[in-house]
Amino acid sequence: MQTSTYVLIPGAWQGAWSWLPVAKRLRAAGHRAITLTLPGLGDGDDPSGLVLKDAIGHVVNEVRRRDLDNVTLVAHSWGGYPATGAAHLLATRVSKVVYFNGLVPAVGGSVIDDDPDRRELTLRLIGESPVGAVTPALEFVERMLMQGVAPALQRMVAELMTPQPGRYFLDTLDVDVATLGVDTAYIASDRDHALPFPAAGFAARLGVAPEFVPGTHVSMLTHPDEVAKAILAT
């Protein structure tokens, strides 16, 4: 069996912890799995002053520091932005990018450009924050990220989440996913309520069709077996 190297990139407000259940299953299948926490998203981190390039640079530096080759980047949600930017800079080291409930950037676009309904709220929250960050409320986790999941698990995830540096949502990315020069795949949860438009629209930017797994936006926590199998099947 050929061994693969997976670098797992978390979504907004999350750290390496969000990928641990899936990472354990990838390792059990004989592969290498590395979970990252991006700048500003670790426990006690200061999110002020951070920009999207900091997140991209962290992924790039980790791949180079560990001297990784033939890497598959797996990006959850907002993590699609740093993953795309990193893949562009790591063309000789990255062979595939897998977007899981992922935001696939449009050329020159930002997260809020793709989400006009939440644009005003996002800008207000960033402006009101003394550190320019967005902190998710428990209600957001309950209604958008983990609807129908056990309340105790919803509360635990909400408490694990950290403020998201505002510029991570505002900064644009001038990278065309169609010309990354690596394979791409899109995995979507069948009950995801958090994406600003259907997963098929994001997958279309890659020229692929989404593969579906059960669960909500963070089903890597509630359905790690299915998510790991889907990643291995790409």
Look-up of token digits 């949502």 = 169
pLDDT confidence of residue 91: 84
Tokens of 10: 């978390």
116-to-68, 78, 98, 111, 123 alpha-carbon distances in Å: 38, 15, 25, 9, 11
Of the candidates 169, 171, 167, 203, the one whose C-alpha atom is nearest the C-alpha of residue 188 is: 203
pLDDT confidence of residue 57: 99
pTM recorded for the entire structure: 0.97
pLDDT confidence of residue 25: 99
Specify the CATH number of the domain 5-233.
3.40.50.1820
Measure the CA–CA gap between 58 and 163, rounded to whole angstroms: 18
pLDDT averaged per 10 residues in sequence order, the chain, 234 residues: 93 99 99 99 96 99 98 99 98 96 98 96 96 96 98 98 98 95 98 97 98 98 99 98
pLDDT confidence of residue 1: 66
